[in-house]
Amino acid sequence: MKIAILFGGSSYEHEISIVSAITMKKVLKNATLVYIFVSSDRKFYLIDTQKINSKLFSSGEYKKSKELTLKNGGFQVDGMFGSKRIDFDVALNLIHGRDGEDGKIASLMEFYTIPFISPRIEASALSYNKLYTKFLAESVGVKTVAYEYLSKNDERKIAMPYPIIIKPVRLGSSIGVSIVKDASELDYALDVAFEFDTDVIIEPFIEGVKEFNQAGTYTNDWELSIVEEPHKEEFLDFEKKYMDFSRDSQVLAADISDALKAKIQESFKKIYDPLFRGSIIRCDFFVVEGKVLLNEINPIPGSMANYLFEDFEGLVERLSKHLPKEQNIAVDYQYIHSIQSAKGKA
Q: Could you tell me the pTM of the whole model?
A: 0.89
Question: Among positive and negative, which fits the CA dihedral 48, 53, 54, 60?
Answer: negative
Class of domain 148-204: alpha beta
pLDDT per residue rounded down to tens, the chain (346 residues): 999 999 999 998 999 999 999 999 999 999 999 999 999 999 999 999 999 999 999 999 999 999 999 998 899 999 888 889 999 999 999 999 999 999 999 999 999 999 999 999 999 999 999 999 999 999 999 999 999 999 999 999 999 999 999 999 987 767 889 999 999 999 999 999 999 999 999 999 988 899 999 999 999 999 999 999 987 665 555 555 545 555 666 788 999 999 999 999 999 999 999 999 999 999 999 999 999 999 999 999 988 899 999 999 999 999 999 999 988 899 999 999 899 888 765 5
Q: Quick one: pLDDT at residue 239?
A: 54
Are the C-beta atoms of residues 149 and 166 closer than 8 Å to each other? no
Report the alpha-carbon distance of residue 272 to residue 120 in Å, rounded: 12
Q: Quick one: pLDDT at residue 14?
A: 94
Are the C-beta atoms of residues 8 and 32 closer than 8 Å to each other? no
Domain positions in the chain are 2-118, 125-144+207-320, 148-204
Domains 125-144+207-320 and 148-204 share a fold: no
- Which CATH code for domain 2-118? 3.40.50.20
- CATH code 3.30.470.20 for 125-144+207-320: yes
Q: Quick one: pLDDT at residue 303?
A: 87
Question: Among positive and negative, which fits the CA dihedral 220, 222, 284, 25?
Answer: negative
Q: Quick one: pLDDT at residue 32?
A: 97
Q: Quick one: pLDDT at residue 235?
A: 53
